[in-house]
């Protein structure tokens, strides 16, 4: 199998944009090509473009946006497809791009993930996100993702002693990290006290779905991110040294959450990480940094256990010790994570890879994890029904 590297990254400022969907994708793509040192056009040598998005059709009413993007970037007759896998769409597109190169069918693949979620009211956005639940067994009954996570959180709290303060600690850490990421949506330092106590708690951090408060989950975001993949043997024509995609693992779990044997396990996270480690010939102890999918702060805690960083039920203790902060044993979400960097669904899996590439290139500035040689991304689809893990290493 041919080895594949990442030779360019691009990222818009996450938040709320006035750009249309296609222009936003184009911005991330142009930043990525510029980072790789190539100009848009047929001379870029791009064989395939993959666009990751969930709401391109439902929210933005565009189909075949990959074809439109190829035209916008003057890349015709390059091949183009859109990829959708709920909130894991971004990593899925990176995986399919990897396969395209590993197969020998392509040398160079541009992957762009993006979502424009604002402009819809809160109820409409919640409904859109809920379409990733099982259509007959869950969505049809009005279940929302937030409701699922609330129930999951309550179980985890009772089983392992995780507290509201532990979840708030994750938020505080990720907001702090985001202060140093210019692409992050939220540049706002918060304290544990603000998020957990005081007479005006309900105003500062209102309850959304008991026990979840606003700061226990990510914001609604617009944004796009892009990576340029290339066969390692062809990577020297780009200006920066490639970062190697050392391993990719993916696993599905029952789509119907009620059918899971142990409702507090995130089995697909565990399997996906194991597969990615096995392909890379590395283990959790070799990871220097990680971007985990903290759409809800409880997920960062449980994922940090499932990927093997901490024993089961002890992820929250690691947070209390500061193990996952910058400077800690294994910094998690130096980018600010979905919590503070933002979570434009289709962009997120690509954005995680962008952050780890920047970390491994030592381009992360104040949030740099010193000496980072290997990193892990976990992109989590639905309520853990489809998870992609990616291991990146310095080439």
126 counts as binding a second copy under rule CB under 8 A: no
CB atoms within 10 A of CB 21: 23
The residue from 256, 282, 317, 395 that contacts a second copy (CB under 8 A) is: 256
Answer yes or no whether residue 369 interacts with a second copy by CB under 8 A: no
Considering only 243, 251, 350, 377, the residue that binds a second copy (CB under 8 A) is 251
- Shortest distance in whole angstroms from residue 244 CB to a second copy: 16
Provide, rounded to whole angstroms, the least separation between the CB of residue 7 and a second copy. Answer: 19
- CB nearer to a second copy: give 72 or 118: 72
Considering only residues 12, 85, 153, 181, which one is a binding residue for a second copy as defined by CB under 8 A? 85
Using CB under 8 A, which residues numbered 48 to 77 contact a second copy? 54-58, 60-68, 70-72, 75-77
User: Strand 374-381 relative to strand 222-231: parallel, antiparallel, unpaired?
Assistant: unpaired
Q: 289-291 and 374-381 as β-strands: parallel, antiparallel, unpaired? A: parallel
Q: Which of 12, 185, 250, 368 binds a second copy (CB under 8 A)?
A: 250
Q: Which of 181, 386, 390, 393 touches a second copy by CB under 8 A?
A: 386
Tell me if 125 contacts a second copy by CB under 8 A. no
Beta strands at 243-252 and 386-394: parallel, antiparallel or unpaired: antiparallel
- By CB under 8 A, is residue 92 in contact with a second copy? yes
CA–CA distance, 223 with 190 (Å, rounded to integer): 23
Q: Does 98 bind a second copy (CB under 8 A)?
A: yes
Return the SS3 of 384: coil
Q: Is 284 in the site for a second copy (CB under 8 A)?
A: no
Dist CA 222 CA 53 (whole Å): 11
C-alpha 48/C-alpha 50 separation (Å) is 7
User: d(Cα 106, Cα 233) in Å, to the nearest integer?
Assistant: 12
Whichever of 221 and 250 has its CB closer to a second copy, that residue is 250
Q: Is the torsion defined by CA of 84, 88, 93, 96 positive or negative?
A: negative
The answer to whether 113 contacts a second copy (rule: CB under 8 A) is no
Task: Work out whether 20 is an interface residue with a second copy (CB under 8 A).
Answer: yes
Q: Counting contacts by CB under 8 A, is residue 253 touching a second copy?
A: yes
Within residues 133-162, the interface with a second copy by CB under 8 A covers 134-136, 139
CB of 172 to a second copy, least distance (A): 31
Q: Which residues 6+ apart lie within 8 Å of 174 measured at CB? A: 294, 297, 300, 333, 336, 337, 339, 340, 341
Nearer to a second copy by Cβ, of 220 and 332: the residue is 220
Residue 195 CA to residue 212 CA, distance in Å, equals 11
Q: Which segment (144-152, 193-201, 246-254, 359-367) binds a second copy by CB under 8 A? A: 246-254
What 254-261 contacts at long range (C-beta under 8 Å, 24+ apart), as own/partner pairs, is: 254/385, 255/134, 255/137, 255/382, 255/385, 256/134, 256/137, 256/138, 257/138, 257/148, 257/383, 257/384, 257/385, 258/137
Residue whose entry in the numeric block shows the structure tokens 């848009």: 40
Q: Is 278 in the site for a second copy (CB under 8 A)?
A: no
Q: Would you count residue 379 as binding a second copy (CB under 8 A)? A: no
Instruction: Please report, as ranges, the residues that interact with a second copy according to CB under 8 A.
Output: 1, 20-22, 54-58, 60-68, 70-72, 75-86, 92, 95-96, 98-100, 102-105, 131-132, 134-136, 139, 248, 250-256, 259, 267-268, 271, 381-382, 385-386
């Amino acid at each position: 199998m041919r080895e594949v590297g990442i030779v360019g990254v691009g990222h818009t400022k996450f938040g709320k944009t006035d750009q249309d969907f296609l222009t936003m994708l184009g911005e991330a793509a142009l930043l990525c090509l510029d980072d790789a040192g190539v100009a848009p056009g047929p001379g870029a040598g791009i064989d395939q473009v993959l666009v990751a998005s969930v709401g391109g059709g439902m929210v933005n009413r565009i189909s075949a946006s990959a074809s439109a993007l190829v035209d916008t970037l003057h890349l015709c007759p390059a091949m183009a497809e859109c990829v959708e896998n709920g909130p894991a769409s971004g990593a899925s597109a990176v995986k399919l791009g990897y396969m395209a190169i590993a197969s020998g069918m392509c040398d160079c693949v541009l992957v762009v993930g993006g979502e424009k979620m604002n402009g819809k009211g809160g109820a409409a956005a919640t409904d859109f996100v809920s379409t990733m639940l099982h259509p007959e067994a869950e969505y049809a009954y009005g279940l929302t993702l937030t409701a699922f996570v609330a129930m999951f959180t309550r179980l985890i709290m009772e089983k392992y002693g995780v507290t509201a303060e532990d979840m708030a600690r994750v938020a505080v850490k990720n907001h702090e990290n985001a202060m140093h990421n210019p692409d992050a949506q939220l540049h706002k330092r918060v304290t544990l006290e603000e998020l957990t106590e005081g007479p005006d708690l309900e105003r500062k951090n209102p309850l959304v779905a008991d026990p979840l408060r606003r700061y226990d989950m990510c914001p609604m975001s617009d944004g796009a991110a892009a990576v340029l993949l290339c066969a390692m043997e062809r990577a020297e024509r780009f200006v920066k040294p490639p970062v190697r995609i050392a391993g990719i693992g993916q696993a599905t779990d029952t789509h119907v959450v009620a059918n899971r044997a142990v409702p507090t396990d995130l089995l697909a996270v565990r399997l996906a990480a194991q597969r990615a480690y096995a392909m890379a010939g590395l283990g959790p102890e070799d990871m220097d940094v990680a971007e985990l999918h903290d759409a809800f702060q409880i997920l960062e805690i449980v994922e940090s256990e499932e990927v093997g960083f901490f024993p089961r039920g002890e992820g929250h203790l690691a947070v209390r010790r500061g193990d996952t902060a910058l400077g800690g044993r294994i910094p998690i979400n130096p980018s600010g994570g979905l919590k503070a960097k933002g979570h434009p669904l289709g962009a997120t899996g690509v954005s995680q890879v962008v952050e780890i590439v920047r970390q491994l290139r030592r381009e992360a500035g104040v949030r740099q994890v010193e000496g980072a040689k290997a990193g892990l991304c976990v992109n989590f689809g639905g309520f853990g029904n489809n998870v992609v893990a990616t291991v990146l290493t310095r080439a």
